[in-house]
């Protein structure tokens, strides 16, 4: 048996450690997962209730066109239903874009570090990857423009960026769009948009009419608290969406996810509450870092990158022993940093205490 040569030796996606596994391995009663940027407050109670309803007919195929959630999203963000492409998470929309547009005669441009799935899927399709390092922690859009040539098909702008939490502002985004050739797709991945509070964050929906080469990605996995359901979508001009639709697997979003997403979308108050609580907790993490003289990147998401000055892997193990699953910065291009999801107020109180203990232990082990 022979897989494509570019897949040989490729690492599968490494998810954050599952909580139950950590509990078992370390004999801990309580474990907090602050690794995958899930909503620490969970989904809206309305979404949870909708799941109970949707689960009653497991034998019936889902609506492949996702008509109800399609209309709900269209109304919510003010576009036509035909402008939406649904996926089993926005991960699947990324996969579909790569499958539809990339091969070994093309290239794709992205930041580094950024969300891993752009590169992962592009490599599978055999495309050349052109990575442009972040500049002062932010997408270097000018540098990315320079990498575009006649073989470029997709440029990825993760906004706000994962793993840094930083964002591209409206002025920079607009200047970028004006210069990207019209036959090159710009993907604005807005997985964390519900958490954004910056006033100069671009309202990309307003640019869709002007740019046939713009696609926006959104997800129900983060602020909406439906990560386990696997549903997200892309928004673009109708013509682009139609040309991509043949790549979509027939029943790619399931009934339970569709119902849960409709209910979640209808509870804007809940999202607003989560955004406010999240901002408060981010502020707390920032204040702690300032007090301790730790560098951090200001975040527009529900996670933060913090420079502990200790190997990210060492901090990962040390925090794990205290019941906190975070992300080491080592695999994210920030070796002595950690990425932590902003938890609830209670979780963050315990987390900051654990972090303090770990940092003290490190200091002593270095001196001793
Ligand atoms: C989490 C995340 C996604 C994908 O989420 P899905 O669960 O597949 O919808 C996409 N982009 C970024 C930047 C993310 O952080």
Distance separating alpha carbons of residues 315 and 329, to the nearest angstrom? 10
Give 142-201 pLDDT, tens digit per residue. 999 999 999 999 999 999 999 999 999 999 999 999 999 999 999 999 999 999 999 999
Half-sphere exposure (Cβ direction) of 276: Cα atoms closer than 13 Å:
6
Residue whose CA lies nearest to ligand 1 atom number 14: 191
Name the average pLDDT for the chain: 96
124 exposure class (CB count in 10 Å sphere: 0-12, 13-18, 19+): middle
Measured by CA distance, the residue closest to atom 1 of ligand 1 is: 191
Mean pLDDT of 358-362: 93
Q: Say how many Å lie between the CA of residue 77 and the centre of ligand 1.
A: 19
Query: Where residue 368 falls among pLDDT bands split at 50, 70, 90?
Result: very low
Length of the chain: 368
Domains of the chain with CATH codes: 5-30+269-366 (3.90.1150.10), 45-267 (3.40.640.10)
Query: What is the model's pLDDT at position 176?
Result: 98
- Looking at the chain, the whole-number percentage of residues with pLDDT higher than 90 is 90
Which residue bears the tokens 């909708």?
A: 50
Residues with CB under 6 A from ligand 1: 89-91, 115, 158, 162, 189, 191, 219, 221-222, 227, 232
Of ligand 1's listed atoms, the one at least distance from the Cα of 231 is 9
Q: CA-CA distance, 297 to 234, in Å (whole number)?
A: 28
- Residue 74 has what pLDDT? 98
| Model confidence, pTM | 0.96
Residue 14 pLDDT more than 80? no
How far apart, in Å, are the Cα atoms of 340 and each of 130, 163, 301?
28, 10, 11
Q: Ligand 1 centre from 299 Cα, in Å? A: 16
* Nearest ligand 1 atom, CA 219: 9
Whole-Å CA distances, 220 to 142, 234, 260, 330: 31, 12, 9, 28
Closest C-alpha to ligand 1, atom 2: 191
- Tell me the backbone φ, ψ of residue 155, rounded to 5 degrees: -120, 130
Which pLDDT score, from 0 to 100, does residue 209 have? 98
Whole-number pLDDT of residue 20:
85
Average pLDDT over residues 83-97: 98
């Amino acid at each position: 048996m022979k897989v494509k040569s570019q897949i040989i030796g490729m690492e599968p996606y490494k998810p954050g450690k599952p909580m139950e596994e950590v509990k078992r391995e370390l004999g801990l009663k309580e474990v907090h997962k602050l690794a995958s940027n899930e909503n620490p407050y969970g989904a809206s109670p309305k979404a949870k209730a909708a799941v109970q309803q949707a689960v009653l007919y497991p034998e019936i195929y889902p609506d492949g066109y996702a008509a109800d959630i399609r209309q709900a999203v269209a109304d919510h963000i003010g576009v036509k239903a035909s402008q939406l492409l649904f996926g089993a998470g926005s991960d699947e929309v990324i996969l579909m874009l790569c499958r539809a547009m990339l091969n070994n005669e093309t290239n794709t441009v992205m930041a580094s570090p950024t969300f891993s799935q752009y590169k992962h899927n592009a490599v599978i399709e055999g495309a050349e990857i052109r990575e442009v390092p972040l500049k002062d922690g932010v997408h270097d859009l000018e540098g990315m423009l320079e990498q575009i040539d006649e073989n470029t098909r997709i440029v990825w702008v993760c906004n706000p960026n994962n793993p840094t939490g930083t964002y591209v502002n409206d002025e920079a985004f607009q200047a970028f769009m004006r210069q990207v050739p019209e036959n090159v797709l710009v993907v604005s991945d807005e997985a964390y948009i519900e958490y954004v509070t910056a006033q100069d964050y671009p309202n990309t929906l307003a640019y869709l009419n002007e740019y046939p080469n713009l696609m926006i990605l959104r997800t129900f996995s983060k602020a909406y608290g439906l990560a386990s359901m696997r549903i997200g979508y892309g928004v673009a001009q109708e013509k682009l969406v139609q040309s991509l639709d043949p790549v979509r697997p027939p029943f790619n979003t399931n009934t339970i996810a569709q119902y849960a997403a409709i209910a979640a979308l209808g509870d804007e108050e809940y999202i607003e509450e989560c955004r406010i609580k999240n901002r408060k907790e981010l502020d707390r993490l920032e204040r702690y870092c300032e007090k301790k003289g730790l560098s951090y990147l200001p975040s527009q998401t529900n996670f933060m990158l913090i420079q502990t000055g200790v190997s990210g892997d060492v901090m990962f193990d040390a925090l794990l022993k205290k019941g906190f699953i975070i992300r080491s910065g080592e695999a994210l291009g920030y070796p002595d940093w950690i990425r932590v999801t902003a938890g609830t107020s209670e979780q963050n109180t315990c987390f900051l205490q654990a972090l303090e203990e770990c940092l003290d232990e490190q200091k002593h082990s270095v001196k001793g």
